Amino acid sequence: MPEKALPFIQTYEARDGRSLCYRHYEAQSDRVVILLHGISEDGQYLHPLADFISGKGLAQVVVPDLRGYGYHPVRRGDVEYVGQHDHDLEDLVRWLRDRSAEQLEIIMAGHSGGGGNVIRLARHRLSGEIGGYLLLAPSVHPDAPINHKKEPWSDTQVNKIRFTVLSVLNAIGLRFWNGCTVLRRDKPTERRHGRETLELSYRLLRSRTPKAKYRQCLQAMTQPTLVLVGEKDELFLPGQYAPLFAECGRAKVALIRDSDHDGILSDKAALREVENWLKALGE
């Protein structure tokens, strides 16, 4: 089935009055997969997976550009406060429900850093409206066993001292410096497209990461959950996902052979796993 053109950008209104962007992949289905992008890109690179899901009629797919990302963010790489993405996603769900004549079933999905956003929601009030979780090579937490002890990549640097100091200050209610940059990512000039977000503030990075007791979030994921990770994932330790997600009572973890971190988004075996899982949800 040939890949369709990228849907045009639409906007929804968040609770603070800001217009935030998303793309809507339509399908004859009352199920909606909200698919979240990784740590430095907007949602455009998720097109192959979103197009596959909608093209098969498995679900509508909504791909938002999270606050701080995309074409024209208010402040690239920053949000107003820790946890603002949670509120934005809650507002997006309300927006979609208000404009649908059907009772929508919401599936939260995320790739890489988007997985961290999704896992956060397991202990958010929105969790009661989520019918399932789809996680593709998700980041979980800096302390999770899926992380390499030493970062194997050289293009991403986290200022751990600054991050730790800001965490301590936040614990005692001091948030004035939360806009300070704590993550920088290098990307060769020839590979840049103008939408990448290569510097993240403390409050944005924290908004994309489950809280310190991340295992409580995993245990709260009682809905059906599918976790896919490439056998050759270069960012995380693929073999550590299954034991980690054993804490989720209804999680299935599938290792995709010969696939890497981004490759699972278009890998045929990964797409079959997604298709079979989504079909099984309706049975």
Residue 36, domain extent:
9-149+207-281
Average pLDDT by stretches of 10, the chain with 283 residues: 81 96 96 96 96 97 97 93 97 95 94 96 92 96 85 71 94 95 86 88 94 87 96 94 88 96 96 97 77
pLDDT at 153: 47
Return the percent helix, strand and coil in the chain, to nearest 5.
Answer: 35, 20, 45
Q: Into how many domains does the chain fold?
A: 1
pLDDT at 115: 96
pLDDT at 157: 84
Q: Does some domain include residue 172? A: no
Q: Does some domain include residue 185? A: no
Q: Does some domain include residue 144? A: yes
Q: Does some domain include residue 95? A: yes
Q: Does some domain include residue 188? A: no
Q: Does some domain include residue 61? A: yes
Write the DSSP assignment of 39-101 as a string of letters: SSS-GGGGHHHHHHHHHTTS-EEEEE--TT-SSS-SSTT--SSTTHHHHHHHHHHHHHHHT-S
Q: Are strands 31-36 and 60-64 parallel, antiparallel or unpaired?
A: parallel
pLDDT at 1: 56
Q: Does some domain include residue 165? A: no
pLDDT at 150: 64
283 alpha-carbon distance from chain centroid: 26
Q: Does some domain include residue 181? A: no
DSSP code at position 201: E
